[in-house]
Amino acid sequence: MPSYTVTVATGDQWFAGTDDYIYITLVGTEKCSNRTLLDKPLYNDFERGAVDSYEVRVEENLGELVLVKIEKRKYWVQDDWYCRYITVKTSSGDYLEFPCFRWLVGDKEVVLRDGRAHLPQDDKISLVKQHRQKELDMRKKTYRWKEWQPGFPMSIDAERHRDLPRDIQFDSEKGVDFVLNYVKAIENLCVNQFMHMFQSSWTEFADFEKIFVRIKNTISEYVMQHWKEDFMFGYQFLNGCNPVVIRKCTKLPDNFPVTHEMVSSSLERELTLDEEIKAGNVYIVDFEVLDGIKANCTDPCTLQYLAAPLCLLYKNTLNKIMPIAIQLGQTPGEDTPIFLPTDAKYDWLLAKIWVRSADFQYHQNITHLLRTHLITEVFAIAMFRQLPAVHPVYKLLIPHIRFTIAINTKARDQLINEHGIFDKVSPSLCFPDMIKSRGMDSKEELPTYFYRDDGNSVWEATKSFLSDVVHIYYTSDETVQKDVEIQAFIKDASSFGMQDFDHCEFPKSLKTREELAEYLTVVVFSASSQHAAVNFGQFDWCSWIPNAPSTMRKPPPTQKGVADVNLILDSLPDRGRSSWHLGAVWALSQYQESELYLGTFPDEHFIEKPVKEAMEKFRTRLAEITSSIKRRNEGKKLPYYNMSPNKIPNSVAV
């Protein structure tokens, strides 16, 4: 009787092993094997991290082995099991790999294809065609779209983390990390005594140091020391947490009536303001999207305020970006004065603090939440619904959506304000286009815009890798057009995930391999590099509360000459909110012990040698970029490393 050697690998995460009964059926083009119990006498099968081998005997020739069916049945109590992969050695000595990387929950079965990637038009055997369609039918029932709030991108149909399919829930370790990080933050930062001191203002700026004593680093300390200075204010628009809002000013907005006389003392080239604008030396930040948005009401005893400021910035002769005019509302007038560096010290400082607070809100809600977390979730849901596990694009994307739906579901349940601003925002996600559209692409004009430089390097490396893989499986542009699954994925993300918003620039179809490679680069870059750039520097730049107030407790000033230290301290977050803020930005900035970084693929969804060669080439290029960034940062008081590949996790998971 012919026999097959079946090897089963169990995951090494917590609770991955099982005591349940595991059965296997080998499915060939001619016959199927009998359903066989995988069990060794006097042996504890399928323990966490185990790799176990078994003999499966068959009575007839199965033909070409195309599928493996795994079933789990209850032994004593329901016991989930995580199967990494199965390999089968045939009677002729051939090895076949069947990637799984899934949880079997309850009395469940999974049917696996071998690890070679296939486009839908490549499948000719009816058996595998049926399996492919059945998998997608099941996925569409499991991964359902839901509108969480009007104006938001669509999300997963699940109220809480425990309602999610087991395969996309946090691993136990990750879940524990997520819950404990905030608790650790409060303890490590020694802010327990301030946590409940709401409505209690700090008495002086130095008091903020009372919650800034335990965890310091080079950048956060530098920010604390220099936050009042104009150069630090301007620098953050280039390399801080939110380096995506500054743009070159080619014409002053009609609602921002800055005159040459107002700013002449800040200009250094003996040019008029108009001439400086034409010379490309003037930049602008406009928070119009925040206009009309109401602040959260988290405490009925404390009013909270938002502003929608405009800020004009000037590149001086030392190539430093300096603020030269600030208006704290979108409607000019007597009650909306234009604040200037020549104004009284505290008037100018308070105006800058209001801009920093608006920048914090924009960063958290748009740059961070919308353009990384929520957009990546759209891609993830569309992928699960439209691409089977055997599709090469599924294999490419699965490492980059790890835990994203889980973290977003937790955030919707606990963190996110329901009254969003997302329907006002057009999410431009192509990194080079985004930089160019803001007039920020010239390295000669802005030599210290490291976010742009590092981002371009990582973007190109990522696109090169994805293009290599696309060309392995798609032999022509026509192959892309005929791939009904990839076209369904693109359409699902746009028409359902983004609900065909008028401002949405997502394509509804792709025609060329170049378009596909760029689309996949947007997905991977948004989930990995862009998220790293705007997330992991939060403690650096936001831990010194006056530099990034999460809320303001007084309205924006409507006239000059009224600001003093007391007004500023009464406007900034109180002791309780400052402590919660500090704990949050510390927790969000932490890498996890089990973090998987860009270029690492521990789950081998691909088995083909050309793809593995492309992966190795990608890792080599990323290592070169990391080394280059390290050399540039040497000796810098403000090193920029948020786009360094060795600090870029594969996915949005925090």
Mean pLDDT by 10 residues, the chain (654 residues): 92 92 95 94 93 94 94 89 96 92 93 96 95 97 92 91 92 58 57 51 70 66 94 98 98 98 97 98 97 74 88 97 98 97 98 97 92 96 98 98 91 63 66 97 97 98 98 98 98 90 79 98 98 95 92 95 94 83 81 88 95 98 98 95 97 88
| Angle formed at CA 288 by CA 152 and CA 542, multiple of 5 degrees | 80
H/E stretch holding 282 reads strand 282-286
Q: C-alpha 603: how far from its chain's center?
A: 20
Would you state the pLDDT for residue 194? 47
CA nearest neighbour of 402 among 224, 251, 600, 269: 600
As a whole number of angstroms, the distance between CA 283 and CA 448 comes to 15
Q: Which two tokens stand for residue 10?
A: 């169990």
Predicted pLDDT at 415: 62
Buried b (16+ CB within 10 A) or exposed e, 76-113: eeebbbbbbbbbbbbeeeeebebbbbbbbeeebebebb
Structure confidence at residue 195 (pLDDT): 44
In the DSSP assignment, the letter for residue 19 is -
What count of Cα atoms within 13 Å lies in the side-chain half-sphere of residue 477? Answer: 6
Specify the pLDDT at position 398.
97
Residue 243 tokens read as: 């380096």
Q: Which residues contact 181 (CB under 8 A, 6 or more apart)?
A: 587, 590
Distances (CA, A) of 373 to 88, 235, 289, 465, 497: 39, 26, 19, 23, 13
Element (H, E) at 489: helix 484-491
Count of CB atoms situated within 10 Å of the CB of 447: 10
**Residue 598 CB neighbour total at 10 angstroms:** 29
Q: In sequence order, which residues have a C-beta less than 8 Å from that of residue 523 and are 6 or more positions away?
A: 376, 379, 397, 400
Q: pTM of this prediction? A: 0.94
Residue 6 in tokens: 């079946």
Closest CA to 654 of 553, 522, 520, 531: 531
| Predicted local distance difference test score (pLDDT) of residue 621 | 98
